[in-house]
A and B are shown apart, each in its own frame.
Chain A
Amino acid sequence: MKRLFLAGALTTAAFLSVTANAADYQIDVEGAHASINFKINHLGYSLIAGRFNTFEGGFSYDAKKQSGSTVKVVIQTASLDSNHAERDKHLKGEDFLNVGKYPTASFTSTKYVAADAMSGVMTGTLELHGVKNTISIPVQKIGEGDDPWGSYRAGFSGTTTLKLSDYGIDYDLGPSSTTVELELNIEGVKQ
């Protein structure tokens, strides 16, 4: 876990070094001020929610130069948690995420287009279930500033909808359940 974290931090650092002017932030997973949640329709009658408990990453952001914003997040797929062990076992198994074969999922940004000071669209590569697709995530900035403990923080939220079959997941959950909504709440501590 430590090594993974270090590897992630190094990757993040390497990745972020290209945008030397912008401020680099590390996602605050220690304090769990970030979450990666998903929501999927159940039979067409309701929504069920789950999340990935273990991930790491960082982003680069400068309010004065938003176009240079980048983000990278690596998710440990085995940390899936839908609050039901039997379902989690199924979702982590070969019918769905196959976490034994694909232990991580990741999002690596390629472009950020700001709409205004508080919103924009982040485009990048999502790798999930061994499949890489380019996706665009509408992003809302929640806020940034000093925290009460001596650091500087910034936070964003983004939501996107994925078609499961685009990622080679074709288990039949019914016509209402072919897509999953992915929500990322990201708070970073300035490095």
Chain B
Amino acid sequence: MLKNSATSYGWVSIALHWIMALLIFFLFGLGLYMVELTYYDAWYKGSLDLHKSLGLVTLFTLIFRVLWRFINPSPADLPGPRWEKLSAHYMHLGLYALLLILMVSGYLISTADGRAIAVFELVNVPALPWGIDNQEDIVGELHEVLAWLLISMVAVHALAAIKHQLVNKDNGLGRILKSH
């Protein structure tokens, strides 16, 4: 089924989860790679354009995902002690919040001079009408630190799911792979 139920994630949530997972890993790798390219690398310019376009696609996907979460029931927590349920809950909230800040910070780097971001040369996402001094430097530092923080949190999140699947045998990973 497409929508979530009290016992299972729906296909829409599952698809959103994995599409974003792929986007996030790709953006992280691309980000690390592109800043090392030199001026005469053929992909010096294209890599950044792709990073910006996919970053904004991820932002729009995140917004849709959060809306979808609000109009859907959440499946029951996996069995476990209270601290585990709470930390899983806060990890999910933290991932959403961090993703939002990370992608907004990326947007604020490229739009610091008032330029719009062209998403795949199809849609122009305009800059905010105001900014701060040296915005591209300040937000740039933040963007890098947050990216590493996100990937660290993703690793913990993934390890927790694997632990649930293999140790607790409560289908912790399986429920985000297949809808019942």
**Which residues from chain A sit less than 8 Å from chain B, CB to CB?**
78, 83-86, 88-89, 92-93, 99, 171-174
Contact B38 A85 (CB under 8 A): no
Please tell me the number of chain B residues within 8 Å of chain A, measured between CB atoms: 15
Contact B113 A174 (CB under 8 A): no
With contacts A78-B137, A89-B136, A99-B137 known, what are 5 further pairs, Cβ within 8 A?
A84-B115, A85-B110, A86-B109, A88-B136, A89-B140
Min Cβ gap A112→B in Å is 35
A134 and B168 CA atoms in complex are apart in Å by 71
Contact B40 A85 (CB under 8 A): no
| A-B interface, 7 closest residue pairs, ranked by CB to CB distance from nearest | A85-B112, A85-B113, A89-B136, A85-B136, A173-B39, A89-B140, A78-B134
**Which residues from chain B sit less than 8 Å from chain A, CB to CB?**
38-40, 48, 109-113, 115, 134-137, 140
- Cβ contacts under 8 Å, B113 to chain A: 83-85, 88
Given contacts A78-B137, A85-B136, A92-B137, contact A172 B38 (CB under 8 A): yes
Contact B39 A171 (CB under 8 A): yes
Contact B40 A174 (CB under 8 A): yes
A85 and B135 CA atoms in complex are apart in Å by 8
- Cβ contacts under 8 Å, A92 to chain B: 134, 137
Min Cβ gap A184→B in Å is 23
Residue from A83, A85, A92, A172 whose CB has the most chain B CB atoms within 10 Å: A85
A93 and B136 CA atoms in complex are apart in Å by 11
- Cβ contacts under 8 Å, B137 to chain A: 78, 89, 92-93, 99
A93 and B134 CA atoms in complex are apart in Å by 12
- Could you write out 10 A-B pairs with CB less than 8 Å apart? A78-B134, A83-B113, A84-B113, A85-B111, A86-B110, A89-B109, A89-B136, A89-B137, A172-B40, A174-B39
A165 and B112 CA atoms in complex are apart in Å by 29
A17 and B36 CA atoms in complex are apart in Å by 49
Contact A86 B48 (CB under 8 A): yes
**A80, closest chain B residue (CB):** B134
Min Cβ gap B136→A in Å is 4
A20 and B140 CA atoms in complex are apart in Å by 47
**B48, closest chain A residue (CB):** A86
Min Cβ gap B143→A in Å is 10
- Cβ contacts under 8 Å, B140 to chain A: 89
Contact A86 B136 (CB under 8 A): yes
Min Cβ gap A84→B in Å is 6
A168 and B113 CA atoms in complex are apart in Å by 28
